[in-house]
Amino acid sequence: MTPRDVPRPTDAELAILRVIWRLGSATVREIHDALLQDQPKTGYTTVLKILQIMTDKGIVVRDESQRAHVYAAKESEQSTRGRLVRHLVDRAFDGSATALVMQALSTKKASPNELATIRAMLEKIEGERR
C-alpha cells in the first residue's frame, strides 16, 4: 500500500514506464514497438526481461490472463516524477526544491505560455499560504 517500497526506476525501466503511462497498459510487443520509434534499438527479449524484473520489484503489475501478458504501472507518473525530483533535490540541491526550480528556470528557456503557467502556480501556492 505504501509507495515507499517501490524502488526508483532505472533509466531503462523509466523508458519502458513512459510507454506504459502513455498507453495505460501494454504488452511487451506494444512496448517494444513503441520504443523502436525512438533512437535506441532494444531487443524484444531485453524489454521482456526488464519488465520481468520490474514485476519482481513491484514497479509494474502483470495481467497473465492472456497469452501476451499485459503490464500496468503500479505508481502514477505524477507520483514517480515526484520521487525522482525529491531524490535529485536531496542528492544535489541540499534539499532545497527552490534551488532546483531556479536551476531549471535558468537552464531552459520557457515560452511565455509556460511562464504564465508557472506564475499561476506561484499564485496558487501563495494563496494557500495566507
Partner DNA sequence: TAGAATCAACGAAGAGTTTCGTAGTTGACG
Partner DNA sequence: CGTCAACTACGAAACTCTTCGTTGATTCTA
Tell me which of 1, 39, 43, 125 binds DNA, using CB under 7 A. 43
**Contacts with 73 (C-beta within 8 Å, 6 or more apart), sequence order:** 17, 20, 21, 59, 60, 80
Say whether residue 93 binds its own copies (CB under 8 A): yes
Amino acid identity of 80? T
Q: How far apart are CA 71 and CA 41, in angstroms?
A: 21
Using rule CB under 7 A, residue 40 touches DNA = yes
SS3 call for 71: strand
Check if the beta carbon of residue 57 is closer than 8 Å to that of residue 6: yes
User: Which one among 6, 17, 18, 27 touches DNA, defined by CB under 7 A?
Assistant: 27
| Single residue of 1, 2, 4, 41 touching DNA by CB under 7 A | 41
Query: With CB cut-offs between 5 and 8 Å by kind, which of its own copies, DNA, none does residue 42 bind?
Result: DNA
Q: Fill in the per-residue mask, 81 to 100: x = in contact with DNA (CB under 7 A), - = not in contact.
A: --------------------
